[in-house]
Amino acid sequence: MTDLLQGNALHKPIVKTVHLLVLPEVHLLDLAGPAQVFCNERLGLDVHYISPQENLIAAQGLAMNQLEPLPLSVSHSSCLLVVGSQHMVEQLNTAAVQQSVLWLQSYAEQYECVAAVCSGSLLLAKAGLLDGLRCTTHHDLVDSLRTVSSRAKVVENCLFVEDGRILTSAGISTGIDVSLHLVSRTYGPSIAQAIARDMVVYQRRAGHTNTLSFWLQHRNHVLQEIHLIQDKIMQSPGETWRVAELATDACLSERQFRRRFQQATGETVQEYLQLARLQLSRQLLEQTCLSVTAVAARCGFADERSLRRLWQLKEGRSPSNYRANCCL
């Protein structure tokens, strides 16, 4: 697929301007994350905050003033990012949103690419821009997105979806992922990685990554001693963890620890450790150039064959196949 933001054989970026569309009750992180990426001095982009209202209040109570009006002309070297806001479903029939919808219907096609963060997908759907396209949004708004656009092909449990020149993302922090993805496609992975390093965030989470991280799963319980052990494993999943030592850290006998751990998480201790190492290997395959052998060593596997065996068992494919596909 032709790069969205690259215009010639030398792969020089043609996008020079980014418009961030801001609505009342905007979520600050929905706005600040992409702004932090696009305002990086390495890019030299001209960033504008546009809105149907000059002044508004963010969902977190911050007053925002002197926002620029919705532009009546758009250069072909521009990219638009629609920022999510709180209570978007209820806002769809407000004057501000209706004005934005009409504007999108007239001007969206003039942008090199159009992206939406979180509930911003609902605004694109209201404007008819997602009809027939694969798209996503925050997991709490999936049904609403289907209602607003019955023709949209809604994808669940992923960070972001790219279909042609339209990109949509899940909740809040995924605006950073979409923005880094666009930078990577335009300026190359090394520039995106440098910006991610500045921001101290992962470079870059793939769009198909599950929105609910493994590290957040199996935590829907109230046993603090088990949360403590899960935190320890999360900090260094590649260590050679011994159940007896973990039980001691939890101030439990080994038998009590095994029983409580499985009751709390739904997994045995050994199964949980396997899943933790699998998740670490997934991250290393996505975010580094380490060989599969090196990844296996980093993740605490006895050898590369053990890693490949677990990948085949849990994922139905090899680590190399996963890396090749997640980097497309």
Task: Output the domain CATH number for residue 307.
Answer: 1.10.10.60
The low-confidence residues of the chain, meaning pLDDT below 70, are: 1-14, 202-213, 216, 326-328
Q: Is residue 272 domain-shared with residue 310, that is, in the same domain? A: yes
Q: Is residue 239 domain-shared with residue 321, that is, in the same domain? A: yes
In a domain, 209, yes or no: no
What is the model's pLDDT at position 211?
A: 46
Give the C-alpha separation, 40 to 174, whole Å: 18
What is the model's pLDDT at position 189?
A: 75
- How many Cα atoms occupy the beta-carbon half-sphere of 73 within 13 Å? 1
What is the model's pLDDT at position 188?
A: 79
What is the model's pLDDT at position 146?
A: 95
What is the model's pLDDT at position 214?
A: 72
Which helix (H) or strand (E) element contains residue 154? Answer: strand 153-154
Q: Is residue 72 domain-shared with residue 28, that is, in the same domain? A: yes
Give the C-alpha separation, 197 to 203, whole Å: 8
Q: Domain limits at 264?
A: 214-326
In a domain, 288, yes or no: yes
Q: Is residue 177 domain-shared with residue 98, that is, in the same domain? A: yes
What is the model's pLDDT at position 9?
A: 33
What is the model's pLDDT at position 203?
A: 52
What is the model's pLDDT at position 202?
A: 56
Q: Is residue 179 domain-shared with residue 219, that is, in the same domain? A: no
Q: Is residue 190 domain-shared with residue 293, that is, in the same domain? A: no
Secondary structure (3-state) at 24:
coil
What is the model's pLDDT at position 113?
A: 92
Give the domain CATH number at 91.
3.40.50.880
Give the C-alpha separation, 42 to 8, whole Å: 20
Q: Is residue 182 domain-shared with residue 220, that is, in the same domain? A: no
What is the model's pLDDT at position 205?
A: 54
What is the model's pLDDT at position 325?
A: 73
What is the model's pLDDT at position 3?
A: 40
For the full predicted model, state whether its pTM sits above 0.75: no
What is the model's pLDDT at position 216?
A: 67
